[in-house]
Amino acid sequence: MAKTFKGRPIIPGNLEGKALVSKQPFNTTASYFTNMFAGNTENAPCTDANNPELHEKDLSGAIICTPQTVGSTMGAGAIMGMNLLGVGFKAMLFSDHIDSIAAGGLIMDDVWNDRKVITIDLLGDDFMNTVKNGDKLKISEDGTVVVG
C-alpha cells in the first residue's frame, strides 16, 4: 500500500524511480571514492564499506534516501564531479534538514552548471522507517513523495 510524505523542496522537480536507502548518514566522498579517482563513467558502485546497505550497489542515476550526508567538504565537490561524469544521483531525499555538505554540492551544481538533482528534505523519521531499497517512488515538485 502506498504511503505519502510531504517534505520541503530544495531543488524541486517531478520524478519516478526506485529508492536506494541509507539509514545511516550517507558519506558522499567514501561512496564515490573509486569514481573520483578512476574517472569511471559507466557506473558508480558505492565504495563505502562502512555502509552495508549500499556498499557495491550502483549509485548512478539513483534516488538516495538518507537522514543526511556526512564527511568532509570534499563531499560537495564529489556530488558535482559525479554529475559532470554522468554517474550522479537523480534525486536526494532527506528525512532531516539538508546538511551543508549536500546543500553546497547540489545547489552549486544546479545554479552554476545547470545540472539539477531533485532535492527534498524534512520528510521525517517515518519516511526513513518506511522506505526500503527498491521501493517505487513518485516525487512531485511540491515536495510530496509517494512510497509504493
By DSSP bridging, strand 15-21 and strand 136-139 are antiparallel
Please tell me the distance from the alpha carbon of residue 77 to that of residue 119, in angstroms, as a whole number. 17
CA atoms within 13 A on the CB side of 10: 28
What is the residue extent of each domain of the chain? Answer: 3-147
Superfamily of domain 3-147: Phosphohistidine domain (3.50.30.10)
Q: What is the pLDDT of residues 92-124, one digit of tens each?
A: 999 999 999 999 999 999 999 999 999 999 999
Please tell me the distance from the alpha carbon of residue 97 to that of residue 77, in angstroms, as a whole number. 20
Is the C-alpha dihedral spanning 23, 84, 14, 73 positive or negative?
positive
Q: What is the pLDDT of residues 11-65, one digit of tens each?
A: 999 999 999 999 999 999 999 888 777 766 788 999 999 999 999 999 999 999 9
Cα-flanking dihedrals φ and ψ of residue 129, to 5°?
-75, -20
Residue 45, all three cell numbers = 558502485
